[in-house]
Structure 1
Amino acid sequence: MPMDSLALCALLVALSALRWGEVGAAPPGNGLQDRPGRAQDDPEVLLSLRKRDAVTRGYNHIEFFDADYDDEYEEPTSQSVVPGPMVRCGYDPCAHLQVPCLELQRATSCLCPGVSGEEVVPEPPRLWEVTGVSDTSASVNWCAPPSAVGSYRLVYGPLGTAGVNTSTQPLSDRSRLFTLEGLSPGTGYLVCAVASNRAGDSRLGEGEWEVERDAPPGYGPCAIFTTTSARAHTLYITLAVLLLLLALALALILLRYLTLRRRRAATPEPSIGLQNPTYEEDKGGKPQA
């Protein structure tokens, strides 16, 4: 081989080695900025080009994470909450001066029945019974509805006079009993219980101021009762006085009889009649002179 050819080959080898040394010493760059086309838009092409540049330039792509994997993926430990026994509150909707069920619930964590809020018109109360009826008064007992109630009142009037009725003053939300006074003797009355809150008053029924005469006690918000007459009241008093006087007379007669019997038992009876001499002689004795 001629010397000129050997020198030319050596020069080419030196230039190649020098070029590869410059490429290996070059700092890592993006390597994608000078590539034309859609390499920067397509994610798959972008990923393949990055991998090829990292291999050709001799770089290992290593990511370091400072986060603690144990803390990050540790499942939170929560204590299982075992609920206590759920007991219904000792709430009686018909008991007079009954504490509201919500207050009992806050105090003892008991269960209350569902109650609508104050933004809803309350359901009608149940008028349970009318007791203690006299010629001028009657006691009315009602039951609370499953609603928030601010106050109660009773509306009443004689039968047959639907437009003439009387309303009591507002009663406490704990009230379940009220006595009507000033009634007329021997008169039939219709009485209805009304519950009120900020949303309004409860309804009296389908026909407003109507009640079924054969309805059982506690059927609805209204009930019918009749006061006793003054004549009957006077008759009852007269009979009671006569019975008392008769019992007193019998007691006096019995006392008199017992007193006479004791006196007779305490007094001895005197001997009555003359002695018989013949009878005395027959007994073995001699007749006395």
Structure 2
Amino acid sequence: MIAAKDSVRALWIVLLALLGSWPCVATPTQELGKNNMLTEPEDSDDYYNTFEDPPLPTSHPSPKKETDLQPCVYDVCLEQKAPCSVLAAQNGCLCLGITLEAVTPEAPTMMSLTTEGSEGVVVRWCSPHSLVTTYSIKVVEKQRVTVDGSLRSGKLEGLNHGDKVCVIAENAAGEGPESCMTYRSEEDNVSLKAGLIGGALGLVLLAVLAVLLWKYTQRRRSGARISTQDRDDSQQALPDSNRVSLDVL
């Protein structure tokens, strides 16, 4: 009996030894209402929960590009109440090709020199594609006339025929190149027109005289031909008359 008990005890010891050497497998436990899957730390902005939608990117209004701007309503040949830079700041438009104040202006474009009665000569020009603060109208050996940069015309007095009139654009960077035109007085223009009209009338008269002379020459040639033919006919008829008179005798 004692031997049987010892054998049973030895069997339990062997079973216990075998169970002690068997690898243990840890099984995940899941509590109610909790997700035991591995997740990234919640304080990170670059990751989100697996069972949640990814966060939508926050939209910020993008600044307006220059290419989206409309050109300013600005005519370089018309007098403006404000320069294009002011219009661009007020209306959010774009000044095409306008250089800034740090660059000297380009040359304006002279348009005309017109005499308007006793008011003198009116000078008209077009603005350059530059920021202009003032314009200077210059005549050789005469005092300059300065006008505001929004203007496109100015008046001069005491101009003589052949005077050279120049307009210069200026800003904080300095003066730009000048644009010039020679003044032609109205009296000179009248004389020129009269000379052109007289020359045209002279050409017309010469053409008429040439046609009349040609017709007169043609008539004289026709008359000379007719008289020659009549004389030849009379000479041919003379022998016939003599022959008739001899037959009668």
TM-score (norm 1): 0.44
Query: Which of the pair is proportionally richer in helix?
Result: 2
